[in-house]
Amino acid sequence: MRAIIGLGNPGAEYEETRHNVGFAVIEALARAHGVRLRRPRAAALAGTGAIDGVPVVLAMPLTMMNASGVAVARLCHLHDLAPEDLIVIIDDINLDLGQLRLRRGGSEGGHRGLRSITERLGTRDYPRLRIGVGAPPGGMSARDWVLSPFSADERETAEEAVARARACVEVAVTEGIEAAMNEFNS
């Protein structure tokens, strides 16, 4: 089984923000594969299903972004998953809008959601898919930037990135991380 975990912040005020692009990918995967998301004991909206016959759990932590590790650790415990069984999906201000970067592991790159997961799992060795949301414009803090919605001019690119991220996850689950990295990393 693989766990696909999209990070974001719960609540209506965060729904359309850059920080919630991970949630958008989980919602797209759930629609495409008929997975019903509900709230289990893992502090996340989650559901089980399959992607081309491969069992998966799709999840969106209900903790705030910076405490994502709590929900991820619970999901790993509930489903008996190792860190390498995960694919964590996050926003990244260090990548251009729409750019994807899948890695088997690595540093948190300043992302507090990843830092929380690393602390809870005790390792940096878990796959993560970064989705570029672009850098904040001059004078705007990173926090304010990621908590802002995409502009009308950015919306189409953001939606295309979510669709490509969904496809990337599907390839990673069915053909392996390496195949997905070769096809989708830009």
pLDDT at 40: 66
Asked if residue 87 has pLDDT above 70, the reply is: yes
What's the number of domains the chain is made of?
1
Is 77 part of the annotated catalytic residue set?
no
Q: What is the mean pLDDT of residues 68-93?
A: 96
Asked if residue 186 has pLDDT above 90, the reply is: no
Options 19, 33, 77, 111, the catalytic residue: 19
51 Rama class: left (phi>0) / alpha (psi -120 to 50) / beta: beta
pLDDT averaged over the chain?
95
The 10s digit of each residue's pLDDT in 10-28 is 999 999 999 999 999 999 9
The 10s digit of each residue's pLDDT in 152-176 is 999 999 999 999 999 999 999 999 9
Contact by Cβ (8 Å): 88, 59: no
**Residue partners of 25: CB distance under 8 A and separation at least 6:** 4, 6, 89, 129, 131, 162, 165, 166, 169
Which residues form the domain of 127? 2-184
CATH code of 44's domain: 3.40.50.1470
The 10s digit of each residue's pLDDT in 30-63 is 999 999 999 767 789 999 999 999 999 999 999 9
The 10s digit of each residue's pLDDT in 114-125 is 999 999 999 999
